[in-house]
Amino acid sequence: MDVDRAAPSDDESSEAELERLKADWTSPVYAFYKATPDIVYEKGRRAHVFACLAKGCKYTCRRYLDTGDSSSTGNLRRHVRKCWGAEVLKDADQAANVAEARESIVGGLKKDGLITYSFERKKGTVSYSHRTHSRAETRVEIVKWVTQSMRPHVIVKDPGFQMLMKTGRPGYWIPPPSTVARDIRVIYKKSHAKVARLLREYDGALSFATDTWTSPNHRAFIAVTVHFVLNEEPVSMLLDLLEVTEVRRIEQVIPPYMCAECVL
Protein backbone atom coordinates (compact mmCIF):
# COMPACT_ATOMS: atom_id res chain seq x y z
CA MET A 1 0.00 0.00 0.00
CA ASP A 2 1.44 3.36 -1.06
CA VAL A 3 1.50 5.73 1.90
CA ASP A 4 2.87 9.24 1.69
CA ARG A 5 2.98 11.39 4.82
CA ALA A 6 3.78 14.61 3.00
CA ALA A 7 0.94 17.14 3.07
CA PRO A 8 -0.69 18.20 -0.20
CA SER A 9 -0.73 21.79 -1.30
CA ASP A 10 -4.40 22.54 -0.52
CA ASP A 11 -5.80 25.85 0.60
CA GLU A 12 -6.24 24.34 4.05
CA SER A 13 -3.30 22.45 5.42
CA SER A 14 -3.81 18.97 6.78
CA GLU A 15 -2.89 20.15 10.28
CA ALA A 16 -5.41 22.99 10.15
CA GLU A 17 -8.07 20.61 8.89
CA LEU A 18 -7.29 18.20 11.71
CA GLU A 19 -7.65 20.91 14.34
CA ARG A 20 -10.95 21.99 12.81
CA LEU A 21 -12.33 18.46 12.78
CA LYS A 22 -11.15 17.72 16.33
CA ALA A 23 -13.57 20.34 17.61
CA ASP A 24 -16.41 18.03 16.56
CA TRP A 25 -14.91 14.88 18.07
CA THR A 26 -16.97 14.99 21.25
CA SER A 27 -17.75 11.29 21.59
CA PRO A 28 -16.05 9.72 24.67
CA VAL A 29 -14.84 6.87 22.45
CA TYR A 30 -12.00 9.14 21.24
CA ALA A 31 -10.53 8.94 24.76
CA PHE A 32 -9.33 5.39 24.01
CA TYR A 33 -7.14 6.56 21.12
CA LYS A 34 -4.20 8.92 20.73
CA ALA A 35 -5.41 12.50 21.11
CA THR A 36 -3.87 13.49 17.80
CA PRO A 37 -4.17 10.92 15.01
CA ASP A 38 -1.55 10.51 12.34
CA ILE A 39 -2.24 12.03 8.93
CA VAL A 40 -1.45 9.80 5.94
CA TYR A 41 -2.07 9.94 2.21
CA GLU A 42 -2.84 6.92 0.08
CA LYS A 43 -2.99 7.46 -3.64
CA GLY A 44 -3.93 11.07 -3.12
CA ARG A 45 -6.55 10.35 -0.46
CA ARG A 46 -6.13 11.94 2.93
CA ALA A 47 -6.83 9.82 6.02
CA HIS A 48 -6.58 10.05 9.78
CA VAL A 49 -5.14 7.05 11.61
CA PHE A 50 -6.35 6.51 15.18
CA ALA A 51 -4.08 4.33 17.35
CA CYS A 52 -5.48 2.44 20.35
CA LEU A 53 -3.99 3.39 23.72
CA ALA A 54 -4.30 -0.07 25.28
CA LYS A 55 -0.96 -1.50 26.36
CA GLY A 56 0.36 -3.93 23.76
CA CYS A 57 -2.48 -3.20 21.31
CA LYS A 58 -1.35 -2.36 17.79
CA TYR A 59 -4.79 -1.68 16.36
CA THR A 60 -5.23 1.39 14.17
CA CYS A 61 -8.40 2.71 12.58
CA ARG A 62 -8.02 4.50 9.26
CA ARG A 63 -10.65 7.13 8.45
CA TYR A 64 -10.68 8.57 4.90
CA LEU A 65 -11.82 12.16 4.71
CA ASP A 66 -13.35 11.95 1.23
CA THR A 67 -16.16 9.62 2.26
CA GLY A 68 -19.64 10.34 3.51
CA ASP A 69 -19.02 8.58 6.83
CA SER A 70 -15.70 10.30 7.60
CA SER A 71 -17.02 11.24 11.05
CA SER A 72 -18.41 7.82 11.93
CA THR A 73 -17.26 6.26 15.21
CA GLY A 74 -18.59 2.77 14.49
CA ASN A 75 -15.22 1.11 13.94
CA LEU A 76 -13.70 2.98 16.90
CA ARG A 77 -16.44 1.78 19.24
CA ARG A 78 -16.33 -1.76 17.88
CA HIS A 79 -12.64 -2.09 18.70
CA VAL A 80 -12.97 -0.51 22.18
CA ARG A 81 -15.75 -2.95 23.01
CA LYS A 82 -13.49 -5.84 22.00
CA CYS A 83 -10.20 -4.55 23.41
CA TRP A 84 -11.24 -2.68 26.57
CA GLY A 85 -14.58 -4.35 27.27
CA ALA A 86 -18.23 -3.41 26.89
CA GLU A 87 -18.52 -2.28 30.52
CA VAL A 88 -15.59 0.11 30.16
CA LEU A 89 -17.10 1.64 27.04
CA LYS A 90 -20.46 1.92 28.79
CA ASP A 91 -18.86 3.80 31.67
CA ALA A 92 -17.01 6.09 29.26
CA ASP A 93 -20.28 6.97 27.56
CA GLN A 94 -21.47 8.39 30.88
CA ALA A 95 -18.61 10.89 30.98
CA ALA A 96 -19.38 14.54 30.33
CA ASN A 97 -16.77 14.86 27.60
CA VAL A 98 -13.69 13.28 26.04
CA ALA A 99 -11.33 14.89 28.54
CA GLU A 100 -13.20 13.46 31.51
CA ALA A 101 -13.31 9.97 29.96
CA ARG A 102 -9.60 10.12 29.16
CA GLU A 103 -8.63 11.22 32.66
CA SER A 104 -11.03 9.30 34.90
CA ILE A 105 -11.43 6.04 32.97
CA VAL A 106 -8.68 5.55 30.41
CA GLY A 107 -6.03 7.19 32.58
CA GLY A 108 -7.03 5.13 35.60
CA LEU A 109 -6.99 1.90 33.60
CA LYS A 110 -3.53 2.59 32.18
CA LYS A 111 -2.24 3.35 35.69
CA ASP A 112 -3.90 0.60 37.73
CA GLY A 113 -4.37 -1.97 35.00
CA LEU A 114 -7.43 -3.31 33.21
CA ILE A 115 -7.51 -6.41 35.39
CA THR A 116 -8.22 -4.39 38.53
CA TYR A 117 -10.98 -2.38 36.92
CA SER A 118 -12.65 -5.42 35.39
CA PHE A 119 -12.40 -7.35 38.66
CA GLU A 120 -14.24 -4.60 40.51
CA ARG A 121 -16.96 -4.57 37.86
CA LYS A 122 -17.70 -8.27 38.29
CA LYS A 123 -20.42 -8.15 40.92
CA GLY A 124 -23.98 -9.36 41.30
CA THR A 125 -25.71 -12.55 40.30
CA VAL A 126 -24.11 -15.13 38.04
CA SER A 127 -25.16 -14.84 34.40
CA TYR A 128 -23.90 -16.35 31.18
CA SER A 129 -23.25 -14.50 27.95
CA HIS A 130 -23.67 -15.70 24.39
CA ARG A 131 -20.35 -14.14 23.41
CA THR A 132 -16.88 -15.25 24.43
CA HIS A 133 -14.90 -13.31 26.99
CA SER A 134 -12.45 -10.63 25.99
CA ARG A 135 -8.86 -11.12 27.13
CA ALA A 136 -9.40 -8.87 30.15
CA GLU A 137 -12.57 -10.74 31.12
CA THR A 138 -10.80 -14.08 30.76
CA ARG A 139 -8.06 -12.91 33.14
CA VAL A 140 -10.69 -11.73 35.62
CA GLU A 141 -12.66 -14.97 35.60
CA ILE A 142 -9.55 -17.13 35.91
CA VAL A 143 -8.27 -15.09 38.87
CA LYS A 144 -11.65 -15.40 40.58
CA TRP A 145 -11.81 -19.13 39.94
CA VAL A 146 -8.23 -19.85 41.02
CA THR A 147 -8.47 -17.81 44.23
CA GLN A 148 -12.00 -18.61 45.33
CA SER A 149 -11.75 -22.33 44.54
CA MET A 150 -8.15 -22.55 45.80
CA ARG A 151 -6.69 -23.91 42.58
CA PRO A 152 -3.00 -23.64 41.63
CA HIS A 153 -2.33 -20.93 39.09
CA VAL A 154 -0.49 -23.43 36.86
CA ILE A 155 -3.81 -25.22 36.26
CA VAL A 156 -4.24 -23.10 33.13
CA LYS A 157 -1.58 -25.29 31.50
CA ASP A 158 -3.41 -28.49 32.35
CA PRO A 159 -4.24 -30.41 29.14
CA GLY A 160 -7.77 -31.18 30.36
CA PHE A 161 -8.48 -27.53 31.10
CA GLN A 162 -7.05 -26.52 27.73
CA MET A 163 -9.26 -29.10 26.02
CA LEU A 164 -12.41 -27.83 27.75
CA MET A 165 -11.66 -24.20 26.97
CA LYS A 166 -10.51 -24.57 23.38
CA THR A 167 -12.85 -27.24 22.02
CA GLY A 168 -14.94 -25.51 19.38
CA ARG A 169 -12.84 -22.36 19.86
CA PRO A 170 -9.25 -23.40 19.13
CA GLY A 171 -8.14 -19.80 18.97
CA TYR A 172 -9.50 -18.92 22.42
CA TRP A 173 -6.82 -17.12 24.41
CA ILE A 174 -5.81 -18.48 27.83
CA PRO A 175 -3.32 -16.50 29.90
CA PRO A 176 -0.05 -18.25 30.86
CA PRO A 177 0.58 -19.13 34.54
CA SER A 178 2.93 -16.17 34.94
CA THR A 179 0.14 -13.78 33.96
CA VAL A 180 -2.32 -15.43 36.36
CA ALA A 181 0.19 -15.20 39.21
CA ARG A 182 0.89 -11.55 38.45
CA ASP A 183 -2.82 -10.73 38.29
CA ILE A 184 -3.41 -12.40 41.66
CA ARG A 185 -0.69 -10.26 43.23
CA VAL A 186 -2.17 -7.11 41.69
CA ILE A 187 -5.66 -7.90 42.95
CA TYR A 188 -4.34 -8.79 46.40
CA LYS A 189 -2.44 -5.49 46.74
CA LYS A 190 -5.42 -3.48 45.60
CA SER A 191 -7.82 -5.38 47.85
CA HIS A 192 -5.47 -5.06 50.81
CA ALA A 193 -5.25 -1.29 50.38
CA LYS A 194 -8.99 -0.96 49.85
CA VAL A 195 -9.86 -2.93 53.01
CA ALA A 196 -7.30 -0.99 55.06
CA ARG A 197 -8.73 2.32 53.86
CA LEU A 198 -12.28 1.14 54.56
CA LEU A 199 -11.46 0.15 58.14
CA ARG A 200 -9.52 3.34 58.83
CA GLU A 201 -12.30 5.56 57.56
CA TYR A 202 -15.21 3.53 58.94
CA ASP A 203 -17.40 5.69 61.18
CA GLY A 204 -18.66 3.14 63.66
CA ALA A 205 -17.75 0.20 65.86
CA LEU A 206 -15.49 -2.57 64.58
CA SER A 207 -15.66 -5.94 66.30
CA PHE A 208 -12.58 -8.14 66.04
CA ALA A 209 -12.59 -11.86 66.77
CA THR A 210 -10.19 -14.76 66.68
CA ASP A 211 -10.68 -18.45 66.09
CA THR A 212 -8.17 -21.25 66.64
CA TRP A 213 -8.23 -24.87 65.65
CA THR A 214 -6.02 -27.85 64.97
CA SER A 215 -6.01 -29.51 61.59
CA PRO A 216 -6.17 -33.31 61.21
CA ASN A 217 -2.40 -33.40 60.76
CA HIS A 218 -1.95 -31.71 64.17
CA ARG A 219 -1.05 -28.24 62.87
CA ALA A 220 -2.56 -25.31 64.78
CA PHE A 221 -3.98 -22.23 63.10
CA ILE A 222 -5.49 -18.93 64.20
CA ALA A 223 -7.75 -16.64 62.18
CA VAL A 224 -8.43 -12.95 62.81
CA THR A 225 -11.73 -11.53 61.56
CA VAL A 226 -13.53 -8.18 61.70
CA HIS A 227 -17.27 -7.62 61.79
CA PHE A 228 -19.25 -4.44 61.17
CA VAL A 229 -22.32 -3.03 59.45
CA LEU A 230 -21.99 -1.36 56.05
CA ASN A 231 -24.96 0.09 54.19
CA GLU A 232 -27.27 -1.62 56.68
CA GLU A 233 -25.78 -5.00 55.83
CA PRO A 234 -23.63 -7.12 58.18
CA VAL A 235 -20.09 -7.61 56.89
CA SER A 236 -17.52 -10.19 58.02
CA MET A 237 -13.97 -10.15 56.72
CA LEU A 238 -11.05 -12.47 57.23
CA LEU A 239 -8.06 -10.24 57.98
CA ASP A 240 -5.38 -12.88 58.43
CA LEU A 241 -4.78 -16.59 58.84
CA LEU A 242 -1.65 -17.72 60.64
CA GLU A 243 -0.12 -21.03 61.57
CA VAL A 244 0.75 -21.24 65.26
CA THR A 245 4.34 -22.40 65.41
CA GLU A 246 4.22 -23.47 69.08
CA VAL A 247 1.32 -24.67 71.21
CA ARG A 248 1.62 -24.80 75.00
CA ARG A 249 -0.61 -26.21 77.65
CA ILE A 250 -2.22 -23.57 79.84
CA GLU A 251 -0.35 -24.79 82.92
CA GLN A 252 2.90 -23.82 81.15
CA VAL A 253 2.00 -20.18 80.57
CA ILE A 254 0.16 -19.10 83.77
CA PRO A 255 1.96 -18.12 86.98
CA PRO A 256 2.24 -20.93 89.56
CA TYR A 257 0.22 -18.98 92.13
CA MET A 258 -2.85 -18.84 89.82
CA CYS A 259 -5.12 -21.70 88.90
CA ALA A 260 -6.31 -22.53 85.43
CA GLU A 261 -9.92 -21.93 86.50
CA CYS A 262 -9.03 -18.31 87.46
CA VAL A 263 -7.54 -17.67 84.02
CA LEU A 264 -10.47 -19.17 82.21
Q: What is the pLDDT of residue 128?
A: 58
Q: What is the pLDDT of residue 115?
A: 53
Torsion of CA 140, 142, 145, 146, to 10 degrees: -120
Q: What is the pLDDT of residue 209?
A: 95
Say whether pLDDT at 187 is over 70: yes
CA angle 71, 102, 188 (to 5 degrees): 135
C-alpha–C-alpha distance, residues 39 and 50, integer Å: 9
pLDDT over 90, % of the chain:
29
Q: What is the pLDDT of residue 180?
A: 94
- What amino acid occupies position 183? D
Q: Averaged over 162-167, what is the pLDDT?
A: 92
Average pLDDT of the residues of the chain? 81
**Model confidence band, residue 8 (pLDDT cutoffs 50, 70, 90):** very low
In 122-249, where does DSSP find H-type helix? Answer: 135-148, 159-166, 177-201
Say whether pLDDT at 262 is over 70: no
Burial code (b: 16+ CB inside 10 Å, e: under 16) for 159-194 equals eeeeeebeeeeeeeebbeeebbbbbbebbeebeeee
Name the least confident of 59-68, 137-146, 180-189.
Answer: 59-68
**Model confidence band, residue 208 (pLDDT cutoffs 50, 70, 90):** very high
Q: What is the pLDDT of residue 100?
A: 83
Q: Averaged over 174-185, what is the pLDDT?
A: 94
Q: What is the pLDDT of residue 4?
A: 43
Most confident of 5-14, 88-97, 212-221: 212-221
Residues 6+ apart with CB under 8 A from 235: 227, 228, 229
215-241 residue pLDDT tens: 888 889 999 999 999 888 899 999 999
Q: Which residue has the higher pLDDT, 35 or 256?
A: 35
C-alpha–C-alpha distance, residues 136 and 161, integer Å: 19
Say whether pLDDT at 170 is over 80: yes
Q: Which residue has the higher pLDDT, 185 or 6?
A: 185
Most confident of 36-40, 86-90, 106-110, 128-132: 36-40
Q: Which residue has the higher pLDDT, 164 or 8?
A: 164
39-65 residue pLDDT tens: 888 888 888 899 998 877 889 998 888
- The 3-state DSSP composition of the chain as helix, strand, coil percent (nearest 5) reads 45, 20, 35
Asked if 71 and 59 touch (Cβ cutoff 8 Å), the reply is no
- Give the 3-state secondary structure of residue 178: helix
Q: What is the pLDDT of residue 103?
A: 79
Length of the chain: 264
Q: What is the pLDDT of residue 1?
A: 44
Q: What is the pLDDT of residue 225?
A: 95
